[in-house]
Amino acid sequence: MAMARRSGSHLLSSFRPFSLLLQPPLADAPSPAASAAVASARRALSSASALRARDEKDAARWRESMDRMRNIGISAHIDSGKTTLTERVLYYTGRIHEIHEVRGRDGVGAKMDSMDLEREKGITIQSAATYCTWKGYQVNIIDTPGHVDFTIEVERALRVLDGAILVLCSVGGVQSQSITVDRQMRRYEIPRVAFINKLDRMGADPWKVLNQARSKLRHHNAAVQVPIGLEEEFEGLVDLVEMKAYKFEGSSGQNVTAYDVPSNMADLVNEKRRELIEVVSEVDDQLAEAFLNDEPITANQLKAAIRRATVARKFIPVYMGSAFKNKGVQPLLDGVLDYLPCPLEVDNYALDQNNSEEKVLLAGTPAEPLVALAFKLEEGRFGQLTYLRIYDGVIRKGDFIYNVNTGKKIKVPRLVRMHSNEMEDIQEAHAGQIVAVFGVDCASGDTFTDGTVKYTMTSMNVPEPVMSLAVSPISKDSGGQFSKALNRFQKEDPTFRVGLDPESGQTIISGMGELHLDIYVERIKREYKVDAKVGKPRVNFRETITQRAEFDYLHKKQSGGQGQYGRVCGYVEPLPSGSGGKFEFDNMIIGQAIPSNFIPAIEKGFREACNSIVLTDGASHQVDSSELAFKLAAIYAFRQCYTAAKPVILEPVMKVELKFPTEFQGTVTGDMNKRKGIIVGNEQEGDDTIVVCHVPLNNMFGYATAIRSVTQGKGEFTMEYLEHNIVSQDVQMQLVNSYKAAKGTE
């Protein structure tokens, strides 16, 4: 019995800890310390689960917020209707309460063209950011310029966006700047929808434009809408996904009425819907399976397939309408929500500076450390305004952030959301948003973090300037303001360069074209009250060599004390066409004819030659050789062999697209031939002729006036940099003689 009792008591004691959770213990009450420990453990468990629940709730809130966000840009050729479309979007989403036109007679002008110059000229010069809400989604929009002169504005906007609307004119079709903008979208891997605008205009043909996009832009696309009537009879649209017809009624097209597809359009609508399904099936396996099995395709199935294909950049849905006539804008907004990605669906990469610039995929969530890119600068009323795209983490007013490029720690004094030139103060912003900060000194392209990571975002592509002007202030007293203006513009615009001509001492400004530089000269006058004197536009010529030439040069100078001694031998030769750099230096010396510590000085001396240079031999002196001696030897060696290498001058050649009424074809092409233009394309478009030619930039000055005068103001042209080409012998002689004459008069 005693045995059994011991065994029983042993069993009971072994279960006693378990009884703490189930019922009061049968034996002694626990000590106060044990009770406190249990209570503490319970509190810790409770707070941990509460924290986890809160984190999960926060994560769900962030995810929903980012799922309901779109960052889009609106880009197109000049006068395709980008700013007009943005104005309608802002009106229908309730951000503005009146519609104003780009060249409005009411003196107000479109909301996104906030600069006086933009309203006067009826063009967009700077990209403008805004945001709006549509059906519970936040849409951040950047309206970009169409002129090639302001291409950097498009470049930096696309760098930070997740999706885009490519606007095409239903009459003009795919034009030169449409091709450039599409190329930029490809470079930054931007999913996009196309919008064929101006269906109310005479000669509108959306199907021609859709086919042009396939052939010229290599778009895998199909229409998701069919217009009801065209030109003056344009009434509404048929949605091929939902199979519903829509009309836009009310004074500003704000009332969208849905009704059944008109019976006289049934055949066309069925044919176009089948084409849409076929085109999407080619790039989406799920839809292809249903299509091949002859299963009926529901609207939801088709919508999901279009979204998958668009986000994967395998398909471009094509919308239609007329922004000016207030038709088709609301369905386009629905398309932005339905088919363009949210920030979480886009892969963004940073370079880890602590790990040899290894590529890092950013999570794109607010839970990660802050990573933000400064993509645009503006001088505002309250100091420098810096536009930021936040890729990871959260930024709050009053936070300290680190500029990875400069290593500086900066406090965020003011955080705002932009609505064209108006600001709305906010306390914080999270991953996926586009905001602006005040009082942060940085350059365009700098990356900011919270200091826990050292990431930089990949840089954007900045094209080289093609034209230069000599400028100087008329009044010597305004030199300070003049310098201030140039420094500010240079900081804001990476394609605007300022330099000093070492020979003439003149200030030289360089940019992307005549209009680009004219705008800056005008802004100096308006914003800084400085009248500037402008010299003749100068083209940025280059020089190169055409054949290999040997050099063997000894630089020897004795002037008491240590002299200068350096001998270099080698050859110069032209780089093969298509080489990435302008200069290559090869050290092919075998042995120690020249000590290795002098080689960088030799390379420095040759660098201004900007061609392929090979060093094969040389000689040095134990006492008299120095870095300066070898640098001078390299410079003189290059001068010695340069003439033997048969140098030639290169000039910038522009790709020019002309559009004018056919009746003026003879006069316009004759004028182009006089300007040494080579015609590479000629096509008919209704009553207009479109001519594409390659023309030296030096012969294109003042062409805007010339084409207007020969076409009675009906002709237009666009111009973009193509390449640098060798000038003809007579032009080369002319340039050399004018340079010698200019040197002689000094």
Q: Is 369 annotated as a binding residue?
A: no
Q: Is 65 annotated as a binding residue?
A: no
Percentage helix, strand, coil for the chain under 3-state DSSP, each rounded to 5: 35, 30, 35
Quickly tell me which residue has 């470049």 as its tokens: 155
Q: Is 77 annotated as a binding residue?
A: yes
Q: Is 80 annotated as a binding residue?
A: yes
Q: Is 376 annotated as a binding residue?
A: no
Q: Is 531 annotated as a binding residue?
A: no
Question: Taking each helix axis from N to C terminus, what angle separates 151-160 and 176-187, rounded to the nearest 10 degrees?
Answer: 30
Q: Is 327 annotated as a binding residue?
A: no
- Quick one: CA torsion of 352, 358, 359, 365, rounded to 10 degrees? -30
Q: Is 82 annotated as a binding residue?
A: yes
- Quick one: CA torsion of 337, 341, 345, 348, rounded to 10 degrees? -140
- CB distance 318 to 210 below 8 Å: yes
With CA atoms as reference, report the closest residue to 77 among 188, 229, 216. 216
C-alpha 276/C-alpha 254 separation (Å) is 28
With CA atoms as reference, report the closest residue to 173 among 211, 223, 229. 211
C-alpha 245/C-alpha 300 separation (Å) is 17
- Please write down the long-range contacts of 422-425, taking CB distance under 8 Å and 24 or more positions apart: none
Q: Say which DSSP state 433 is in.
A: -
Residue 5 CA: distances (Å) to CA of 1, 10, 12, 19: 6, 8, 10, 20
Residue 151 CA: distances (Å) to CA of 199, 442, 606, 726: 27, 22, 34, 26
Within 13 Å, how many C-alpha atoms sit on residue 6's CB side?
3
Burial 649-664 (b: 16+ CB within 10 A, else e): bebbbbbbbbbbeeeb
Q: Is 143 annotated as a binding residue?
A: yes
Q: Is 147 annotated as a binding residue?
A: yes
Q: Is 135 annotated as a binding residue?
A: no
For residue 578 the two structure tokens come to 């298509």
Q: Is 407 annotated as a binding residue?
A: no
Q: Is 78 annotated as a binding residue?
A: yes
**From the annotation, which residues make up the binding site for GTP?**
76-83, 143-147, 197-200
- Binding positions: 76-83, 143-147, 197-200
